[in-house]
Amino acid sequence: MRRPKVFVTQPIAESALARLRDVAEVEVNPDSSRVLAKDNLIDGVKRADILLCLLHDAIDRDVLTANPNLKAVSSMNITQDHIDLAAATDLGIPVANIPAIVTDATADIAFGLLLAVARNIALGDRLFRQGIYPGSQSNHFAGYAVTGKTLGLIGFGRIGQAVARRGSGFGMKIIYYDPCRLPAEDERGFSVVYRDLDDLLREADFVSLHPRLTPDTHQLMSDAQFALMKPTAFVVNTSRGPVIDEAALVRALESGQIAGAGLDVYEHEPKVAPELVAMPNVVLTPHLGSAVLELREDMAHIVVDNTIALIEGRPPVSCFNPQVLKKLF
């Protein structure tokens, strides 16, 4: 009996790949430094029964129809970003996914960006490496305080709540906006205060974005919203890039409407506005939200669990289109 073929778009934990090789012929794109080009992705799919892909891979109809014998997609996505789920469902292709296990890692990055941009940590590191040392009490790298300031959280789900816990450790006043306001008892438990969106933007010293990406939150932060913020305030985004109108963010930073930004995600990822790259008051990281070695290994094992389940004719741990599974199992 022929072993199924699995194409993996980038290297994942070797311990997980070893398990997958026990049940399948596995081809792995060896380059972990860049997103696989669409043509190369399609070539890989043509040789595969199952595609094992990562969050950044764009799985559109062209990819899904490149191989009429493609049986399934096993994705490391938590949300269905970059996957044409309607096309997959039309084609009868199940798309397995992983549970939401990146909460603390993403919250860590959010707070790390907040600290880095407020206290000029990234700027100081970069210039010190170039030989610039202005002295330990110079104002050359003086930044903004974090302890005791007001942290505004837009979106108060699992990650927003985790960032609130970190802000509380810095003695910050935590305010939040979410379309679904918490019961008063839960607000007291988190030591947070509800604000409508405009009031939050006016009051917060740091605005940290944690909404889901939906048509309603696309470019949630644009010119009108930045105009409400303090000129000493910072925006941090670890949710999804299109939540911010990047051109509007550039305008707000260039005009001094806001003090700075910390970004882990981008509107046209992996591209980023060149103006942001040149700004010393902007800290940029390449979507590192879940980039923790232990966590990434756990994620790899879950996606391999799903892949093995699909090979063996069992339902995966989680699936974006379970209605397709019902036809298969």
Average pLDDT by stretches of 10, the chain with 329 residues: 93 98 98 96 98 96 97 94 94 96 97 98 96 93 97 98 98 98 96 98 98 96 98 98 98 98 96 97 96 96 97 94 82
Q: What is the pLDDT of residue 196?
A: 98
Q: What is the pLDDT of residue 80?
A: 85
Q: What is the pLDDT of residue 256?
A: 98
Decide: 114 and 262 in contact? Cβ < 8 Å. yes
Q: Quick one: CA torsion of 13, 14, 19, 20, rounded to 10 degrees?
A: 80
**Burial of residue 35, with CB atoms counted within 10 A of its CB: 0-12 exposed, 13-18 middle, 19 or more buried:** middle
Residues 5-100+292-328: name the CATH superfamily: NAD(P)-binding Rossmann-like Domain (3.40.50.720)
User: May I ask the CATH class of domain 103-284?
Assistant: alpha beta
Q: What is the pLDDT of residue 2?
A: 84
Q: What is the pLDDT of residue 315?
A: 93
In the chain, domain spans: 5-100+292-328, 103-284
Cα–Cα distance measured from residue 44 to residue 253, given in angstroms and rounded to the nearest whole number: 42
- Write the Ramachandran bin of 313: left for phi over 0, alpha for psi from -120 to 50, otherwise beta: left
As given in the structure block, the two tokens for residue 34 are: 């860049």
Decide: 71 and 24 in contact? Cβ < 8 Å. no
Cα–Cα distance measured from residue 152 to residue 203, given in angstroms and rounded to the nearest whole number: 8
Q: What is the pLDDT of residue 124?
A: 96
Q: What is the pLDDT of residue 39?
A: 97
Residue 134: alpha-carbon gap to chain centroid: 36
Q: What is the pLDDT of residue 81?
A: 82
Cα–Cα distance measured from residue 326 to residue 319, given in angstroms and rounded to the nearest whole number: 11
Kindly report the pTM of this predicted structure: 0.90
Q: What is the pLDDT of residue 113?
A: 98
Q: Which residues are the active-site residues?
A: 240, 269, 287
